[in-house]
Structure 1
């Protein structure tokens, strides 16, 4: 009995100690280290199938480094990255470079107020297959969708297309809607750590649209993006890329630089707006081939994102792109996106 009582007292003291530590821990304390998962190597087809249709659970995630770029990750299935040690999840934001991998589809709509006569530059830089400015004026209504398919921990394919773009055919013309251009992008995960991620990519814009709608353009787009959870719930992400014109001279080669800063305001346990985040993105577009008179555009994009469920299967993203420098004084652009993750 004395021995049993001593054991019981010891267990009680340990329980109270654990409770005290839990209660005293600050809410924004760094998260503990992620347990190392065993490396599971499979063949190319099995890796791709598991990456696209497998559970992609975070428990199977392993960090990737630049030093092991040619030796690890290519033959291992994709797994969702856990949140950073500073508490920020690795999610997509509207109007901002990604810098991370994901497995989801987006359905997007945007409206452009009063297109100006600056041919060759993008109306929105969020994807390299976006329509460009034409010689028309008036408003624009457009919708596009993207599909992100990881083929391994290192490799991802992105497919996107503008399924409707409606604008005037001329300053005094009628509105005409057509299918837009299509994009395909190969992305390589250079680094994937808890607090930092970096992705290199190369894309191709396929001219499947009509020039009257600012499409029918062929680009090759190399680029680099990063994601950094540098402080509690704070994330900075950025990207640089160049759209190199390879087809007919209906556009121009455009250099794109973006930097976004945002913070998560709620957790996934929130009643309505789960993992609500707000951010602002600064974007600079530069004509580097004198196809539009060496025009530069600078935009600010305040945006927000929140999930509709705890597992982030369905999320709502919205924001507005506002010009702050360049000839696009009236080209403000509200955007809305719905993301479905599986």
Structure 2
């Protein structure tokens, strides 16, 4: 057996690790509710709630996490920054109606969200490096609304390169809805990255990541989203992992082509995501500015399953040539 065969066996082994992690993560998605992001017409079994009802804290959480939040969009109410501390905290989250142009509020790979969801997705990544080596990643991402103003996002990653395959840095994000109207939504998010991975894979870094995000749809199927924030590493193997404090920005534009029920091409959207990371310290080697372009798509396959994909291409000097990201997602 030659060196090339040994290399192929190692690569295949890494791919299997990441795929198994993604499949295992999707298997954890709760099967007890079937609903659709952006207003499904599929029948529901439980009784809908009423927005004028007085809820206990437990009822708000239970309804937001497990209730029928899709079949009656009229229960959704606009929220503003001016009443951030007084409105929405005692009401269950309701999936909002489509934007003023008719586009649904949905997530895209490599784009800032800017809105709330209730879903889980498994993401597989393949990154090609200029030195003819590849690295792989798997990630289980879950969005869990708690009430109309607050939800939690978690990420359980796996990283693999030519040296090792390890669990990555677990991340938990507190997400706050600043305001939401029919056409425009704003959120403030506070992401905590924990050093549960290995520096060999670029992990083992603790950092805090505050972000402002927005989502907008004023005209037909055109959606504009993005935001700004900072990544601030403060503990772990910062130098070894190559972590730096950065200013981060995202701007993404997409257009929806098809209606929700036109499966397996429902809610078909094509988009372009642009990401900027500008280093603001010198704690590690590497370029000071990183800009990437990520053309991508998303489509509704049916039964509230979605398929997403994108190719991330660096515009500035980078340690890798390109990265392919692919995902299956379940809305519930």
Q: Is it true that 1:48 corresponds to 2:43 in the alignment?
A: no
Q: Is it true that 1:287 corresponds to 2:279 in the alignment?
A: yes
Unaligned runs of 5+ in 2: 1-49
Relative to structure 1, the CA distance from residue 67 to residue 76 in structure 2 (aligned partners, 3 Å threshold; closer, same or farther) is same
CA contact (8 A) 1:280 1:303 kept: yes
1:18-48, Cα deviation, whole Å (9 max, x unpaired): xxxxxxxxxxxxxxxxxxx743331222211
* Matching residue within 298, 301, 308 for 1:317: 308
Counterpart of 1:244 in structure 2 is: 232
CA contact (8 A) 1:315 1:340 kept: yes
Distance 1:81 1:319 in 2: 26
Distance 2:202 2:159 in 1: 9
1:256-280, Cα deviation, whole Å (9 max, x unpaired): 1100000001112325300100000
Superposed CA RMSD: 1.6
CA contact (8 A) 2:263 2:301 kept: no
* Matching residue within 302, 317, 326 for 1:326: 317
Q: Is it true that 1:138 corresponds to 2:133 in the alignment?
A: yes
CA contact (8 A) 2:277 2:291 kept: yes
SS in 2 for 1:52: helix
Greater Rg over alpha carbons, structure:
1
CA contact (8 A) 2:121 2:142 kept: yes
Per-residue deviation, 1:115: 6.3
1:20-79, Cα deviation, whole Å (9 max, x unpaired): xxxxxxxxxxxxxxxxx7433312222111100111122321111112111110010011
Q: Is it true that 1:185 corresponds to 2:173 in the alignment?
A: yes
My pick for the range that moved more, 319-328 or 225-234, is: 319-328
CA contact (8 A) 1:115 1:140 kept: no
Per-residue deviation, 1:338: 1.1
Q: TM-score when scaled to structure 2?
A: 0.80
SS in 2 for 1:218: strand
Counterpart of 2:297 in structure 1 is: 304
* Matching residue within 229, 250, 253 for 2:217: 229
Per-residue deviation, 1:294: 5.6
CA contact (8 A) 1:233 1:263 kept: yes
Query: What pairs with 1:101-250 in structure 2 (closer than 5 Å)?
Result: 101-114=116-129, 138-162=133-157, 164-169=158-163, 176-248=164-236, 249-250=238-239
SS in 1 for 2:290: strand
Q: Is it true that 1:72 corresponds to 2:87 in the alignment?
A: yes
Unaligned runs of 5+ in 1: 1-36, 117-136, 170-175
Count the aligned residue pairs: 276
CA contact (8 A) 1:230 1:236 kept: no
CA contact (8 A) 2:247 2:280 kept: yes
SS in 2 for 1:332: strand
Distance 1:166 1:107 in 2: 16
My pick for the range that moved more, 251-260 or 39-48, is: 39-48
